[in-house]
């Protein structure tokens, strides 16, 4: 195969000419995804090792998203006044504090509440600015491929994180893991220094965001992102369930790393499908696959089943998230990005909070109710299919 044919085939799956701003976002995201992958899958396990119960761990994440829900409009003001790119940089110190407070819980459980709050601030600033930068600089005709490339690169980098993080925990413990993650987070800021700033210094009334959630014309979009609440089962419940099967932190990290690696190639293919006319089909198919993966988790009993279920979910999540976010970015380009991002992020945050409260209540009433939580997550995930395509067609 000659070079021209190879290049032509690569164009099917890769966005080969993104804007410099998107390239910088790619680099920063890959480094940050590796840093967070070192720690994120082990956060519930660390809390469990400190003596917190499963319902308490679920509520920790749930209430952090409730805080995020209420501070989102304030984050929108910062993003508008400080600029999208600067706000990305502002988010990093809060992620560093989050991991430092996480480690400090070992000495004083009061740091749990500090971690809950700074985690909410970090996610607010990061995702508002991240989505705004991408919507402002990505190419409309290849937005799905650019987004899938961003996720594939991040997934590839993140695939190294869990196995490395699990090894660090086994050999030297959680404190070293937190220190390593903090240092890499600081490195992730370097590509962002190249970004030119973009901002819209307009007022943003606090209550306007919440009123918009209740508007009839936004109902389907709000419900679709309310379905993101299912990810509480993925980030808070699933790690505890898998380790209860494997009884080995390092084996758990290796399982997640292998699952992430398998997901990378699928991510590129899904982006290609969405940019060539299959966006609605990918969303509906991915939604059903996510629900199926949760029903399968309800009967998992061994390590191979856990790997298969995890890989199944991650691929299905890409199949849903890429078209879902492509539709969102089309919407963001239709107006000022920050206001539209607020709609989606607040719907997502309140969905996660409600899921966490219900899941915690189920666990308090029926200990070891893993299967019930996974079935509930499957039902939540079906809401993704309600997302409206603003363009009204089946192409990107």
pLDDT tops 90 at residue 383: yes
Mean pLDDT over residues 138-153, rounded?
61
Mean pLDDT over residues 240-254, rounded?
80
- What integer pLDDT is reported at residue 10 of this predicted model? 42
pLDDT (tens digit per residue) in 181-215: 888 888 888 877 766 665 566 777 888 889 999 99
Q: Answer for the pair 374, 295: CB distance below 8 angstroms, yes or no.
A: yes
Share of the chain above pLDDT 70, in %: 81
Residue the block writes with tokens 């210094």: 201
Using pLDDT thresholds of 50, 70 and 90, give the confidence band for residue 8.
very low
Which ranges constitute the DSSP H helices of 159-237? 161-171, 174-188, 208-213, 219-226, 231-232
pLDDT tops 60 at residue 4: no
What are the domain boundaries of the chain? Answer: 19-195+219-386
Predicted TM-score (pTM) of the model is: 0.87
CA distance 96 to 162: 18
Q: What do you get for the CA distance between the two ends of the chain, in Å?
A: 30
> Quick one: residue 389, left, alpha or beta (phi over 0 = left, psi -120 to 50 = alpha)?
beta
Range of weakest confidence among 75-84, 87-96, 103-112 = 75-84
- What integer pLDDT is reported at residue 5 of this predicted model? 44
What does R_g of the chain's alpha carbons equal in angstroms?
20
CA distance 86 to 179: 24
Q: Please report the sign of the dihedral spanned by the C-alpha atoms of residue 379, residue 298, residue 233, residue 108.
A: positive
Residue the block writes with tokens 């758990």: 252
Q: Which residue has the higher pLDDT, 154 or 68?
A: 68
Per CATH, domain 19-195+219-386 is 3.40.50.970: no
């Amino acid at each position: 195969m000659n070079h021209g044919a190879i290049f032509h085939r690569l164009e099917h799956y890769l966005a080969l000419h993104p804007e410099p701003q998107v390239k910088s976002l790619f680099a920063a995201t890959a480094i940050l995804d590796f840093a967070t992958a070192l720690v994120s899958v082990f956060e519930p396990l660390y809390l469990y090792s400190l003596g917190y119960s499963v319902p308490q761990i679920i509520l920790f994440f749930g209430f952090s998203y409730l805080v995020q829900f209420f501070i989102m409009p304030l984050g929108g003001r910062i993003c508008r006044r400080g600029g999208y790119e600067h706000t990305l940089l502002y988010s990093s110190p809060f992620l560093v504090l989050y991991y430092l407070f996480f480690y400090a819980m070992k000495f004083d459980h009061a740091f749990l509440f500090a971690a809950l709050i700074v985690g909410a601030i970090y996610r607010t600033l990061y995702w508002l600015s991240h989505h705004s930068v991408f919507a402002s600089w990505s190419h409309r005709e290849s937005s799905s491929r650019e987004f899938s490339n961003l996720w594939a690169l991040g997934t590839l980098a993140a695939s190294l994180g869990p196995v490395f993080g699990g090894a660090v925990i086994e050999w030297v413990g959680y404190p070293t893991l937190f220190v390593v993650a903090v240092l890499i987070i600081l490195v992730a800021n370097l590509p962002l220094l190249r970004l030119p700033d973009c901002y819209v210094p307009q007022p943003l009334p606090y209550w306007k965001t919440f009123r918009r959630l209740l508007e009839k014309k936004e109902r389907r979009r709000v419900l679709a992102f309310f379905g993101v609440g299912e990810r509480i089962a993925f980030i808070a419940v699933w790690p505890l369930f898998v380790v209860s099967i494997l009884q080995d932190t390092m084996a758990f990290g290796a399982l997640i790393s292998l699952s992430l690696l398998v997901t990378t190639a699928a991510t590129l293919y899904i982006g290609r499908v969405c940019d060539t006319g299959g966006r609605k089909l990918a969303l509906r198919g991915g939604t059903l696959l996510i629900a199926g993966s949760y029903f399968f988790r309800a009967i998992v009993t061994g390590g191979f089943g856990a790997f298969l279920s995890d890989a199944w979910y991650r691929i299905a999540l890409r199949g849903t998230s890429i078209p879902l976010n492509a539709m969102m970015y089309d919407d963001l380009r239709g107006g000022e990005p920050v206001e539209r991002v607020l709609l989606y992020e607040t719907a997502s945050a309140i969905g996660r909070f409600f899921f966490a409260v219900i899941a915690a209540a189920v666990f308090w009433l029926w200990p070891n109710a893993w299967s019930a939580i996974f079935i509930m997550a499957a039902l939540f995930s079906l809401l993704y299919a309600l997302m409206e395509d603003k363009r009204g067609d089946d192409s990107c």
